[in-house]
């Protein structure tokens, strides 16, 4: 039961992430005004505009996710013993979701939302998503370790560590690119390229081109690890799935650019990014709990 609940909490948090993307893509970040945690001074808005309901829905879902993580941590601590690694993973989940709420509150209170293209928002948005990935990683490790208890603190190959850092870089640059696409939408593929080359009035459009380049290079490296560094058995199956998601994600990224980033494509691209990150974490933890240690490279 605890394992199923842990996976359910992870799925819930992925849903919250996607709902947050809807808020950003629809420009609904200011839907509740510069108020937090209330929405325009109300616990539940009444006679509100669409943007307000979108923002309120995201806040409500985030609140449910926070309560779910608290319940997960309490359950893990109840059924495990002091010193078990799964407690550390659960604890990090709680720390990450609290900091997630704190970053979100700062973004709202300082009004780094809607049409704001300030340097502060350029920093806050990728920081927010990187923290989100830390949360998803902690929840993934918690769920996996609930079912497969690690015998000792994992020792990971350097290649895995660098790949993890690389995926966080992809997430950070991807969040900046998504923000640029929202604030400076292109009317055609050539118009988008022209904006990037000219830096059309904003630092956001100047750095937007970085994401597809680093995503392709780092993604290929992660896919290579999945295909070549896995051992026979469950680890190999996870590695194959990891490499497959990398391939689909690169294709989705190209489609997102060609189709001029429609909302449904943005959500699919983000969902695949979340899935890729979770699969990578599973690839790492499965290696760490195996009977045979992966050789450092």
Query: Domain check: are 122 and 225 in the same one?
Result: no
Query: Domain check: are 138 and 158 in the same one?
Result: no
Strand partners, 42: 39
CA distance 247 to 132: 23
Give the end of a domain, one of 120, 149, 178. Answer: 149
Give the end of a domain, one of 149, 173, 193. Answer: 149
Query: Domain check: are 70 and 206 in the same one?
Result: no
pTM check: above 0.95: no
3-state secondary structure 77-128: HHHCCCCCHHHHHHHHHHHHHHHHHHHHHHHHHCCCCCCCCCHHHHHHHHHH
CA distance 44 to 34: 15
- Per-residue pLDDT, 294: 38
Q: Which domain holds residue 34?
A: 1-149
- Biggest CA-to-CA distance, the chain: 61
The total number of structural domains that make up the chain: 2
CA 106-171-246 angle, 5° bins: 155
CA distance 66 to 135: 11
Query: Domain check: are 207 and 244 in the same one?
Result: yes
Are 263 and 25 in contact by the 8 Å Cβ rule? The answer is yes
- φ, ψ dihedrals at 30, nearest 5°: -95, 15
Query: Domain check: are 160 and 140 in the same one?
Result: no
Query: Domain check: are 175 and 74 in the same one?
Result: no
Residue 137 neighbours by CB under 8 Å, 6+ apart: 277, 278, 281
- φ, ψ dihedrals at 161, nearest 5°: -65, -45
Q: Single out the catalytic residue among 55, 111, 152, 286.
A: 55
- Per-residue pLDDT, 293: 44
CA distance 137 to 164: 10
Q: Among 55, 202, 201, 50, which Cα is nearest to 121's? A: 202
- Per-residue pLDDT, 164: 96
Q: Among 249, 226, 102, 104, which Cα is nearest to 170's? A: 249
- Per-residue pLDDT, 297: 32
- Per-residue pLDDT, 199: 54
Q: Among 39, 41, 18, 67, which Cα is nearest to 178's? A: 18
Give the end of a domain, one of 108, 129, 149. Answer: 149
Query: Domain check: are 100 and 119 in the same one?
Result: yes
pLDDT tens, residue order, the chain (297 aa): 899 999 999 999 999 999 999 999 998 998 898 888 888 888 888 877 899 999 999 999 999 999 999 999 999 999 998 888 899 999 999 999 999 999 999 999 999 998 888 889 999 999 999 999 999 999 999 999 998 877 666 677 889 999 999 999 999 999 999 998 888 887 777 777 776 666 555 677 778 889 999 999 999 999 999 999 888 889 999 999 999 999 999 999 999 999 989 999 999 999 999 999 999 999 999 887 654 443 333
286 is catalytic: no
């Amino acid at each position: 039961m605890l394992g199923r609940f842990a996976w359910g909490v992870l799925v819930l948090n992925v849903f919250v992430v996607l709902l947050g993307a809807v808020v950003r893509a629809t420009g609904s970040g200011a839907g509740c005004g510069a108020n937090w945690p209330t929405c325009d001074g109300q616990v539940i808005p009444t006679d509100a505009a669409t943007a307000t309901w979108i923002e309120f829905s995201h806040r409500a879902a985030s609140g449910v996710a926070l309560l779910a993580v608290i319940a997960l941590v309490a359950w893990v601590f109840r059924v495990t013993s002091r010193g078990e690694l799964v407690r550390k993973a659960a604890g990090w989940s709680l720390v990450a979701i609290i900091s997630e709420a704190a970053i979100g509150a700062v973004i709202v209170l300082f009004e780094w939302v809607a049409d704001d293209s300030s340097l502060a928002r350029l920093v806050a948005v990728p920081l927010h998503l990187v923290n989100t990935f830390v949360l998803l990683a902690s929840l993934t490790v918690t769920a996996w370790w609930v079912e497969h208890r690690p015998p000792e603190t994992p020792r990971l190959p350097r290649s895995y560590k660098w790949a993890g850092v690389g995926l966080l870089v992809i997430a950070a640059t991807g969040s900046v690119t998504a923000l640029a696409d929202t604030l400076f939408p292109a009317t055609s593929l050539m118009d988008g390229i022209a904006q990037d080359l000219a830096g059309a009035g904003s630092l956001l459009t100047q750095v937007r081109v970085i994401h597809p380049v680093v995503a392709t290079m780092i993604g290929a490296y992660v896919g290579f690890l999945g295909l070549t560094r896995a051992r026979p058995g469950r680890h190999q199956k996870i590695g194959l799935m990891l490499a497959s998601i990398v391939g689909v994600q690169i294709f989705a990224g190209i489609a997102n650019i060609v189709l001029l980033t429609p909302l449904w494509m943005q959500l699919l691209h983000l969902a695949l990014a979340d899935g890729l990150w979770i699969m990578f974490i599973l690839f790492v933890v499965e290696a760490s709990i195996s009977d045979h240690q992966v050789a450092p490279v």
